[in-house]
Amino acid sequence: MEAVHELPDKELLERHAQGDEQAFAVLVKRHRERLWAVAMRMTGDREEASDALQDAFLSAFRAADRFRGESQVTTWLHRIVVNACHDRLRRRKVRPATPTEDDTLDVLSNERLGRSGGAPDHASQTEARLDVHAALDTLPLDQRMALTLVDMLGYRVEEAARILDVATGTVKSRCARGRAKLLPSLAHLRNPHHPPDVTSGRGGANPS
Amino acid sequence: MTSHPDVEALAFFAEELLEPAEERTVADHLQTCTACATALDELSEVSRALADVPLPSLPQDVADLLDQRVATAVRERSAQRTEEGRAPAGPPPAERPGGATVVPISRARRRGFHMPGLLLVAAAAVVVGGGGAMLYNGVLADRGAETGAAAPLMESSPEHSEPDTAQSYRPVVVGSGTAYTEAGLADQAAEVLAAGTAFEQGPGIQENTRYSPEGCAAALGEQLGTRFTLVDDAGYEGAPAWVLFAPEGEKVDVYVVGTDCTGDANTDVLAFETVEAP
């Protein structure tokens, strides 16, 4: 094993910026598994996750000389991957993707069911058996990204805040809003004895 | 039954985000209301349902593709360095003439850098004249039309009627002087969109800028599959920044980028917000 494999992230990035031809590949191998999980969870789609991951690493490749060392390299890489996923999600919201792969058809059709009605209809969402990703697709992107990092991938709120470059309170409130929106479509997945509409028929006056 | 907190309030309660008085109210309510207590439990079930989704492992073909692309990038960089060194990329720094309250840089640049001050003021008046409503209607609202965003500008100033197809692809650049912050971004962006008064000129473009504001907006717009119609040359969290506005139907997407914009959204974008169109 070459010594370069044992260098810390920051030094690998510096060496890469100075022209080292191996350093960046080491960095990629070190972080790609984790970042793949982030990209998959963010996009819910294998092809998009693959594209986002490649775009992100190539962006980092080119931007290495602008890394100021104010954050951890991992945080910086996460942020770039999250941005790449965000771009794709945003574009998908604008123009829904055309199904091209058999293995994406399920998610895509669920997405359409979830989206076509405009306001979420709890009963039809249940009928459509929205999976987690389709449910996540109904959230605003900022809530989806916060929930993905904190609830799905287990990042601490502070880490998620650094990755998303927002305050910790912002991450908490985005997660809270997202969970509230997901409750009708997800809570019953784990807890089938409680009907999903237990919270929807109440007075619901917002006390704020 | 109107005293039930809604689900979002319960979710905020769980995150300890409520104001003390409201928190007490919700806590008291939860003591006696089983439906709300159940809903609170279910909120944590949502988190658990999300956590239950197994982590995907990196497929070999994706890993191979990634290795290939990185290897190609390394080769290209080496070749580039060997052949020509590291020439700085991007257009030259923009020259910002002073005087006008709003400087539509796109017009100034298209005519060369030596546009007389008087004409600049006139060009600025085209943008400022109608106030905020016009700024929105003219610059933002019509972006989807095939006729191009130039049309409303021409309507409000018939004397300035030269065909200007390039205008529809160029954002208007203003300097609102807003010191955008992470916490205030949504409100600040909405204010700039709705502003009915003239903008002050911004702090000016940094000398080491690799992209002009409009060049940055064009490059990022292409990458993001959107079109930025307004750029605010301002500041964000204490540093110079450009705030790019892209209308998407009823909403306007707002991207904050550093003035060291390289045209790569993955690394340039500092913050993102979506605000209602004014």
Distances (CA, A) of A92 to A175, A200, B3, B225: 22, 29, 39, 10
Q: Which of A54, A153, A165 sits opposite B65 (nearest CB)?
A: A54
Residue with the larger pLDDT of the pair B278 and B165? B278
Q: Is residue A204 part of a domain?
A: no
Number of independent structural domains in chain A: 2
Mean pLDDT (whole number) for A108-112? 39
Name the DSSP letter for residue B235. Answer: E
| Residue partners of B245: CB distance under 8 A and separation at least 6 | B140, B171, B189, B192, B193, B228, B229, B230, B231, B232, B252, B253, B254
Dihedrals φ, ψ of B108, to 5°?
-60, -45
Regarding whether A40 and A21 lie in a shared domain, the answer is: yes
Task: Please give the pLDDT value at position A187.
Answer: 63
Test B267 with A66 for CB contact under 8 angstroms. Answer: yes
Residues A89 and A8 in one domain: yes
Position A176 in a domain: yes
Shared domain for A74 and A124, answered yes or no, is no
**Please, which residues 29-68 of chain B have a Cβ atom closer than 8 Å to chain A?**
35-36, 38-39, 42-43, 45-53, 55-59, 62-63, 65-67
Closest CA to A126 of A110, A137, A142, A143: A110
Is B120 exposed, middle or buried, given 0-12, 13-18 or 19+ CB atoms closer than 10 A? buried
Mean of pLDDT values over A45-57: 94
- A72 plus A125 within the same structural domain: no
Q: Taking residues B23-28, report their average pLDDT.
A: 94
Judged by average pLDDT, the poorest of A64-78, A86-100, A194-208, B51-65 is A194-208
Which residues on A lie below 8 Å from B65 (Cβ)?
50, 54
Domain residue limits, chain B: 7-51, 105-276
Q: Can you list the alpha helix ranges (DSSP code H) found in chain A?
A: 9-17, 23-43, 46-63, 73-94, 102-116, 122-127, 132-137, 141-147, 157-164, 168-190
pLDDT at residue B271, as a whole number: 85
* Whether residues A5 and A77 fall in one domain: yes
> Residue A196: phi, psi to the nearest 5?
-70, -15
Question: pLDDT digits over B96-128, tens only?
Answer: 444 334 444 443 343 333 434 444 444 444 444
- Kindly tell me if the per-residue pLDDT of A98 is higher than 70: no
Read off the CATH number of the domain in which A162 is found: 1.10.10.10
Instruction: Tell me whether B261 touches chain A (CB under 8 Å).
Output: no
**pLDDT at res. A116:** 40
A90 pLDDT exceeds 60?
yes
Taking Cα atoms as reference points, which of A99, A103, A165, A174 lies closest to residue A136?
A174
Work out how many CB contacts closer than 8 A connect A with B. 201
Backbone phi and psi for residue B109, each to the nearest 5 degrees, phi listed first: -70, -40
Six-digit token pair at A118?
A: 């405009």
C-alpha–C-alpha distance, residues A63 and B90, integer Å? 14
Model pLDDT, residue B84: 64
Mean pLDDT calculated for residue range B190-219: 65
Q: Which of A75, A95, A115 is the last residue of a domain?
A: A95
Q: What pLDDT was estimated at residue A133?
A: 78
Which residue, chain included where needed, has tokens 């919270």? A199
Mean pLDDT score of chain A, rounded to an integer? 77
pLDDT given at position B147? 39
Residue A173 at interface with chain B, using a CB cutoff of 8 Å: yes
For residue A191, pLDDT beyond 70:
no
Poorest-pLDDT segment among A12-26, A93-107, A179-193, B214-228: A93-107
Residues 6+ apart with CB under 8 A from A21: B74, B78
Q: What is the pLDDT of residue A114?
A: 40
Q: Is the dihedral of CA B212, B214, B218, B220 positive or negative?
A: positive
Indicate the residue of A61, A87, A183 with minimum beta-carbon distance to B43: A183
The minimal CB distance from B271 to the residues A80, A147, A165 is found for A165
Among A112-116, B4-8, B137-141, B259-263, which is the least confidently predicted range?
A112-116
Mean pLDDT of A132-149: 89
| Concatenated DSSP letters of A127-177 | HTT--HHHHHHTS-HHHHHHHIIIIIS---HHHHHHHHTS-HHHHHHHHHH
Range in A202-206, B5-9, B53-57, B78-82 with the lowest mean pLDDT: A202-206
Does the structure show a pLDDT above 50 at A204?
A: no
Exposed/middle/buried for residue A175 (C-beta within 10 Å: 0-12, 13-18, 19+): buried
User: For residue A76, is it within any domain?
Assistant: yes
Residues A69 and A158 in one domain: no
CA B107 to chain CA mean position, Å:
21
Tokens of B258: 């550093």
Taking residues B231-251, what's their average pLDDT?
A: 87
* Complex-level ipTM beyond the 0.85 threshold: no
What is the C-alpha separation between A32 and B27, in angstroms, rounded?
A: 44
In a shared domain, residues A63 and A143: no
Domain that holds residue A21: 1-95
Q: Are residues A131 and A163 located together in one domain of the fold? A: yes
- Same-domain status, A60 and A127: no
Q: Which two tokens stand for residue B125?
A: 């008046």
Cα-based distances in Å from B4 to A25, A132, A201, B232: 55, 28, 11, 43
Model pLDDT for residues A121-134, shown as the tens digit of each residue: 444 333 333 578 78
Q: Distance, in angstroms, between B24 CA and closest chain A CA?
A: 12
Substitution target in A18, A87, A138 with the highest count of B β-carbons within 10 Å is A87
Residues A79 and A122 in one domain: no
Q: What are phi and psi of A130, to 5 degrees?
A: -55, 125
- Average pLDDT for A101-108: 38
Whether residue B13 has pLDDT greater than 80: yes
Contacts of residue B253, Cβ cutoff 8 Å, sequence gap at least 6: A90, B226, B245, B246, B247, B272, B273, B274
Q: Which residue has the higher pLDDT, A138 or B85?
A: A138
Average pLDDT over residues A124-145: 71
Alpha-helical segments (H) within B33-149? 34-52, 60-84, 105-110, 117-128, 131-134
**pLDDT(A20) > 50:** yes
- Confidence at residue B38, expressed as pLDDT on a 0 to 100 scale: 92
Over residues B153-202, the pLDDT tens digits come to: 333 444 444 444 444 466 777 888 888 888 888 888 888 887 744 554 44
Interface of A with B in 101-130 (CB under 8 A): none
Instruction: Choose the closest CB to B35 out of A182, A183, A202.
Output: A202
Interface test with A, best of B36, B58, B208 (most A CBs within 10 A): B58
CA distance B57 to B39: 34
**Dihedral sign computed on CA atoms, order B2, B7, B8, B9:** positive
A53 touching B (Cβ < 8 Å)? yes
Q: What pLDDT sits at residue B172?
A: 77
CATH of residue A38? 1.10.1740.10
B182 part of contact set with chain A, CB < 8 Å: yes
CB–CB contact B223 A87 (8 Å):
yes
Pairing of strands B239-248, B251-258: antiparallel
CB B273 within 8 A of CB B189: yes
A28 interaction partners in chain B (CB closer than 8 Å): 66-67, 70
Query: Bigger pLDDT: A183 or A128?
Result: A183
- Chain-wide mean pLDDT for chain B? 72
